[in-house]
Amino acid sequence: MKPAPFDYVVPATIEEALEHLDRGAGDATILAGGQTLMPLLALRMSTPGIIIDINRIPELQGLSRGEGATRMAPMTRQNVALASSDLATALPMLTRALSHVGHFQTRNRGTVGGSISLGEPAAELPATAVALGAEIEAHSLNGSRRIPAEEFYIGPYATVLEPDELVTAIHFPDWAKGSITVFHEVARRPGDFALVGLVGAITLDQGRIARVGLAWFGMGPTPIKSAQAEAALMGQDPASIDWKELAAMAVSETDPFEDHSASADYRRSVGRSIFARTLPGALNQGAKA
């Protein structure tokens, strides 16, 4: 359970980090909070030649509210984001998801950007980024780009990020005040990765669904946007929805796997139940609030 040897560098600026990444040419790994990477190193599932520690780059810390969006610097610690009252007001869905990430002790070091860039398929934050329509900003020495979260993930721990790119911000668009939080996670113990999870947001306008974003986690090789269910919900009056039918449609968009804790069928069955229960429940509560 000891990591294989590697070279360690600790840049002080984004520019310096990018130079290291460029020079590392695929043999370098970014160390953010380390709460997912360190176990992979200890188990020697990851054996990079160079580790670039971005914990001492001040520009990569903190969150700020801007025009129509919240900008999350990637090294914002999960517990810092969770404690932010600005975030709880602007994006209660994200605050809710954060409260389910790991444990108190791992959230003290774990970062929002680290979780989002690694892309563990059963983790809360990548799916939340997909559901809420976040954009991931990445820099390399050749420039920068913004990648919609729903196009970012291509497999377990695999993203469209190039080896020389560094995530420098995550932009979460605003959701109208009063938008409803959808969140349900089934895990074996609190703090474990989800067996099945559903996250999202719904905005009502005069009793009808005017905007909706939904994504599954633990239900496939990547977080999965429930695009068909979203389309079916748009413009609807929640009272007239057949939730069972819609839940079946939403689950048909997923691609769950079998592992030691659950079969794919079990995951589908749990997915249908939590969808059919969580959405009407959240909408009811939202209507009362």
Partner 1 sequence: MSDHAIALTVNGRQFTEQVEARLTLGDFLREKLGYTGVHMACEHGVCGACTVVVDGLAVRSCLMFAVQADGAEITTVEGVAAPDGTLNPVQQAMRECHALQCGFCTPGVVMTLTSLTEGGNKPDEKTLLQAMSGHLCRCTGYQGIRKAIKQLAAGETA
10 Å CB burial of residue 122 (0-12, 13-18, 19+) is buried
By three-state DSSP, how is residue 138 classified?
strand
**CA gyration radius for the chain?**
19
200 φ, ψ to 5°? 175, -170
Least Å distance, CB 41 to partner 1, is: 8
Report which DSSP code applies to 157.
T
54 φ, ψ to 5°? -100, 20
Residue 259, strand partner residues: 262
* CB closer to partner 1, 42 vs 234: 42
* CB closer to partner 1, 14 vs 38: 38
* CB closer to partner 1, 10 vs 88: 10
Report which DSSP code applies to 183.
E
Cβ atoms of residues 113 and 33 within 8 Å: no
By three-state DSSP, how is residue 126 classified?
helix
Least Å distance, CB 196 to partner 1, is: 19
Around Cβ 264, how many Cβ atoms within 10 Å?
15
Least Å distance, CB 157 to partner 1, is: 16
Least Å distance, CB 99 to partner 1, is: 9
Give the residues lining the site for partner 1 (CB under 8 A): 1-8, 10, 34-35, 38-39, 41-43, 51, 53, 55, 79, 102-106, 108-109, 189-191
Least Å distance, CB 118 to partner 1, is: 14
* CB closer to partner 1, 8 vs 261: 8
Around Cβ 231, how many Cβ atoms within 10 Å?
11
Q: Give residues with Cβ within 8 angstroms of 254, minimum separation 6.
A: 216, 219, 220, 224, 267, 268, 271
10 Å CB burial of residue 32 (0-12, 13-18, 19+) is buried
* CB closer to partner 1, 50 vs 249: 50
Least Å distance, CB 183 to partner 1, is: 17
Torsion angle in degrees (nearest 10) through CA of 65, 199, 109, 52: -80
Least Å distance, CB 234 to partner 1, is: 37
Least Å distance, CB 43 to partner 1, is: 6
- Both tokens of 190, joined, read 């609190």
